[in-house]
Structure 1
Amino acid sequence: MKVYGSHHKDLDVPQLDVLTLLFESDWCAAEESTKLHVEAANPRNSITKAESRDVVRRTAHTLRTKYGIGASQAGSDVVVCISAGNPFIPVLFYSIVAAGGVYSGASTAFTVNELVTQVKDADARLLICSHDYEQPAIETARKCGIPLSRVLVIDAFRPHDWNLISAADRSRVLDLADGLMLEWTRLTDQEALQATTTCLMYSSGTTGLPKGVMISQWNLTAANVCGMHITKKFRDQRERGGNPFRFSTIAHLPMAHIGGITWSSLNPFYLGGTVYWVEKYDFDTFIEYHKQFRLTCQWSVPPIWHAIANSPKVSDHFDSLDIAVSGAAPLGPELAKAAARKLGCGKIATISQFWGATETTGSITGVDWDVLDQTDSTGAPIPNVKLRFIDENMKDVEPGQPGEVLVSGPIVCQGYHNRPIATRDSFLDGFYRTGDVGIWKDGYVHIIDRLKELIKYKGLQVAPAELEAFLTTHPKIQDAAVIGVEDNVQATEVPRAFIVCKPGAEMQADEVVEYVRANLSNHKRLRGGVVFLDAIPKSASGKILRKELRQQSVTKERRASKL
């Protein structure tokens, strides 16, 4: 077995639950007065570390006493949250964990039916939403048999007067000014830390439909300490050089994304800085907020770096930026350099990359922020993480040869919720199978392909199996297959559908496109086009041969429409 580790030394990860790590340990740089979360549109609407501690304990008391979250057993009661960006949503995340519950973020792009699927699969006991998603949440609750008294609406517009509103009677269920407090359970036992689930984040994993990824207390603590080591190392170097680094950024990833959890909710504690929350991402306001708040650090995805590189609107908006990081999908070296030219008054030579997964609580590898010659790499493993590279016969490949990347370490999730077979199939000898194909070269990882079927459109996940199952519900469609194809203009993958019509049925590509557009989330639209075939190529076991679809001859296409 060939196992590779980090050039960073392994860290002595503290045996602490994540809230104790954030609020009470010396590992985190945030001071009591540090403004952790701020509403970008109204900077007066903010919360400090000291204030958030009290709000978390009071909110946790309400969740426990009024709704029974965590009353029977920690890590079993799921709370589904569907919310636009606001400074209260990360505090709610801490509060759910403090009550002993399990946070499960749902995409704001979801239709009601998609939300129903997640709520039922998670067996959620409580729904929390922002005001703009109240009606979908209410409809979801009705379809799932959840009483309206267990649908709560976030009211976070008035500074220092945040609340949750009952969808049943419009009552304010929190009393943050004088309410009783619930102390979270302090965990120091390794077995308890590993066994206690904190999050249920949905991902398609290596293949198939979305599944609930169970993330433990230990996963979150390790992801903070190990995943942010590169950041902390850079901060300490700047301190020693007499040029302190002050972390500030915009949170534009949703809290249904693992990046929203790690980057936007945990980072401000660990780095002692501020996250500015925007309700919804919009490019123009995104760049203006950078200029207004003179932000120093930004994690983003390739389509946004592509927009920055090519937009004539960007001038001095990112002059204050010290660090730029890209993830969720590969970023080409030319694009990285082109975007970097518009950042930090020229002091940023390139955009650093990292690679990770929901199943690994975020980062697996990352490029050190003081390293400038690894623009074609996703970096080295973070501390405490081990990697393997295997071929299709499950045999380890030699360095420099491509293989599926396997990961082990404290960041690897507990498994999939109620999916023992999927959990079993996703692990090999204690290593999680990422489904990504990479090369190990000189201590760095180069991701070159993906075995897994998952499509990532601008960082949002699209499961081909889900689209395929939906397409075959159309009365004219007999069979369907979906793959991701690169859209160089948008610098992202887009879904392309291959369709087999039922005997005697005739369809136009526009009909297929409209069927998806009218019923599924925007990011699942067939932006890669529609191709009609006589038959979907499949193996003897019935598995779709996606590689063959990618290589499909033009002569086998009956009609194609490119959006």
Structure 2
Amino acid sequence: MPQPEEILSAPGAPFAVVRGEDGGLLYADGPRSLREVVEATWAYGDRPFLVGERAVYTYREFFARASALAGRFVDEYGLRPGDRAAVAMRNHPEWQIAFWATQLAGLVAVPLNAWWTEEELAYALDDCTPRVLLVDGERLPRVDAWRKTAGARVVVFHGGFRDGDPVPQGVERYEDFGTPDPLTAPPAVEVRAEDDATIIYTSGTTGRPKGAVATQLAQAGAALHPRFHASAAALARGAMPGQAPAPVTLMTFPFFHVAAFTTLYSTMGVGGTLVLMRKWDAERALALIEEHRVTHYSGVPTTALQLLEAAERAGAALETLSNLSTGGAAAPPDLLTRLTARHGRRVEPRSGYGLTETSGGVLANFGDAYREHPGSVGRPSPATEVRIAGPAGEALPEGEIGELWLRGQSLVRGYWRDEQATAAAFRDGWFRTGDLATVRDGRVSIVDRIKDMVIRGGENVYCVEVEAALHSHPGVADAAVLGVPHPVLGEEVAAVVQLSPGVTVTVDELKEHVGKELSAFKVPAHVLLREEPVPRNPTGKILKRELRGPVEEYVRGGT
């Protein structure tokens, strides 16, 4: 029997693919630019799209505002296709208005990490040299010195000035623009498939972030991936794609990250609603789910676990929730266990895999397939090809571990003004992810990051595997595993463990627990217990560079 993926991507089907000139796969009948993607949403009219803490925008209101702002970029600021526009703010509804205005004007949007310091923001701004900054009041002081030096225009959303405060030259307040005509049209700008659409900076967990440049065609492909996987999930559970009510999604990913784009595309593509949070709070999330009858949850595994824990404490049934999707980092096994134990098969679990360089999620695992194969990140979208590569780039047989290479429509074209990094990461149209993986029956499983793998006396130890074993202990709230130098073995395994509140567990008990699940050489030789949370970036990836110093100091102490 054909898989849902095969039915949906067959010739003539909605997600059929063709070969592009570079040999990669493209959706045959999909949009070719983000302008096409957003223009299609106008048909959703008065359906609610963006639900913020202080404002709600329907699709009609959103499109009018984005069109009006795009017109200002072109007519008053003199911006032209190819000019960069930086977006730096919290998850306000106006973030989306600002972003989509850049696409309607043919600009290159540069979403910047809202958590960055003034120095980190200045690094990215120096790198991409935007002509306009679209920021909230919190970010304005962090970019003000740069905009004065560069002479860039600034539009400030949500605060930044008190009533009566003078507004500096070159700075405007979005609230002063007024409400646009509901029939405002976007500027008459040609947006081509080959034009650059976005520059999204990598998370920088191992060094300075790089600007990954996606074309309009790449982002248009990224917009179709989650819609395909949602259709495949519907077929897998015996439903007809497109017949369910439009989702109401609680968005907890920061908008500047590609994981947020995957959720955004899947929701706006079917006229759904995004319920936004200015900052994460599990109890507030519960209230929003109940108030807005949220059907889909989208966030990193850490916040998903916190949501389930908060629901258990409050006795909340999460009765409207039908889908819980995580991304940005590997989901610990107990997330699926807790979800199933509490809600059975009513809430569909979903996880997947994507990178900044793939413009978001390209593989997905959902429903019963996820329950049966919890260690997998699923199967690829039709416009994505997978290779498990050996040292020379050769394709390895099924079941063998090698580096995961990806090719397809949504791949970025390279790194902004960094030919050396581009050449190192891309080969013959394939992107080298740096992740070790294996494929069985079309399903991809991530084993570890190549740089995270510990080689102990010639034996490979995959940190993700050891972290999963630690997570399975009921007293462990979080864990990180890394290698430390050893004079004889080369490296040995060390772990940092955050215990759950009020729990007392010894190092020996944790080692014994891991030893019951894994071989002796994988058991951490050193375990550092601490109360502080394991440091993670905004999408949940462990910042191991911040742990190396404390761990090595702990090891030197003779423990």
Q: TM bucket by the smaller chain? A: 0.7 to 0.9
* 2:88 is the counterpart of 1:82: yes
User: What's the counterpart of residue 174 of structure 1?
Assistant: 177
Deviation at 1:155, TM superposition (A): 3.8
Deviation at 1:422, TM superposition (A): 0.8
* 2:275 is the counterpart of 1:262: no
User: What's the counterpart of residue 556 of structure 2?
Assistant: 558
- Equivalent position SS for 1:224: helix
Seen in structure 2, the aligned counterparts of structure 1 residues 241 and 14 have a Cα distance that, compared at 3 Å, is: closer
User: What's the counterpart of residue 346 of structure 2?
Assistant: 348
- CA displacement 1:166-201 (0-9 Å, x = unmatched): 6546665635435975435355xxxx40x2111110
Q: Distance in 2 between matches of 1:340 and 1:184?
A: 51
User: What's the counterpart of residue 22 of structure 1?
Assistant: 38
User: What's the counterpart of residue 201 of structure 1?
Assistant: 200
* 2:76 is the counterpart of 1:103: no
Q: Distance in 2 between matches of 1:298 and 1:184?
A: 37
Seen in structure 2, the aligned counterparts of structure 1 residues 19 and 493 have a Cα distance that, compared at 3 Å, is: farther
- CA displacement 1:447-475 (0-9 Å, x = unmatched): 11112569xxxxxxxxxxxxxxxxxxxxx
- CA displacement 1:408-452 (0-9 Å, x = unmatched): 110111111001111111112211111111110011101111125
Seen in structure 2, the aligned counterparts of structure 1 residues 533 and 35 have a Cα distance that, compared at 3 Å, is: closer
Determine which of 514, 536, 547 is the counterpart of 1:528.
547
Structure number with higher relative contact order (C-alpha < 8 Å, ≥ 6 residues apart): 1
Seen in structure 2, the aligned counterparts of structure 1 residues 384 and 182 have a Cα distance that, compared at 3 Å, is: closer
- Kindly report which structure 2 residues correspond to 1:113-132, keeping only aligned pairs within 5 A, or say none: 113-132=119-138
What amino acid sits opposite 1:209 in the alignment? Answer: R
Seen in structure 2, the aligned counterparts of structure 1 residues 31 and 369 have a Cα distance that, compared at 3 Å, is: farther
8 Å Cα contact 2:358-2:412 kept in structure 1: yes
Deviation at 1:60, TM superposition (A): 0.4
8 Å Cα contact 1:440-1:446 kept in structure 2: yes
8 Å Cα contact 1:251-1:276 kept in structure 2: yes
Q: Distance in 2 between matches of 1:532 and 1:291?
A: 43
Deviation at 1:6, TM superposition (A): 6.2
8 Å Cα contact 2:402-2:438 kept in structure 1: yes
8 Å Cα contact 1:152-1:167 kept in structure 2: no
Deviation at 1:53, TM superposition (A): 2.2
Corresponding pairs, count: 460
- CA displacement 1:500-526 (0-9 Å, x = unmatched): xxxxxxxxxxxxxxxxxxxx9999697
Q: Distance in 2 between matches of 1:377 and 1:100?
A: 38
Seen in structure 2, the aligned counterparts of structure 1 residues 495 and 524 have a Cα distance that, compared at 3 Å, is: farther
Q: Distance in 2 between matches of 1:47 and 1:352?
A: 28
Seen in structure 2, the aligned counterparts of structure 1 residues 126 and 22 have a Cα distance that, compared at 3 Å, is: closer
Aligned residues: percent identity? 20
Cα RMSD over matched residues?
Answer: 3.6
Normalising by structure 2, we get a TM-score of: 0.73
What amino acid sits opposite 2:246 in the alignment? Answer: R
Deviation at 1:337, TM superposition (A): 1.8
8 Å Cα contact 1:206-1:452 kept in structure 2: no
Deviation at 1:23, TM superposition (A): 2.2
What amino acid sits opposite 2:141 in the alignment? Answer: Q
User: What's the counterpart of residue 150 of structure 2?
Assistant: 146
Deviation at 1:368, TM superposition (A): 4.0
Q: Distance in 1 between matches of 2:546 and 2:31?
A: 46
- Kindly report which structure 2 residues correspond to 1:366-515, keeping only aligned pairs within 5 A, or say none: 366-369=364-367, 371=369, 372-452=371-451, 488=471, 489-491=476-478, 493=480
8 Å Cα contact 2:299-2:326 kept in structure 1: yes
Seen in structure 2, the aligned counterparts of structure 1 residues 526 and 296 have a Cα distance that, compared at 3 Å, is: same
Seen in structure 2, the aligned counterparts of structure 1 residues 184 and 327 have a Cα distance that, compared at 3 Å, is: farther
What amino acid sits opposite 2:549 in the alignment? Answer: V
Deviation at 1:347, TM superposition (A): 3.5
* 2:51 is the counterpart of 1:32: no
- Equivalent position SS for 2:387: strand
Deviation at 1:358, TM superposition (A): 0.9
Q: Distance in 2 between matches of 1:54 and 1:355?
A: 34
Q: Distance in 2 between matches of 1:141 and 1:83?
A: 16
User: What's the counterpart of residue 531 of structure 2?
Assistant: none
User: What's the counterpart of residue 248 of structure 2?
Assistant: 248
Seen in structure 2, the aligned counterparts of structure 1 residues 261 and 558 have a Cα distance that, compared at 3 Å, is: same
User: What's the counterpart of residue 514 of structure 2?
Assistant: none
- Equivalent position SS for 1:109: coil
User: What's the counterpart of residue 360 of structure 1?
Assistant: 358
- CA displacement 1:74-101 (0-9 Å, x = unmatched): 23x1111110111111121110111121
Normalising by structure 1, we get a TM-score of: 0.73
Deviation at 1:332, TM superposition (A): 3.1
Determine which of 28, 51, 56 is the counterpart of 1:46.
56
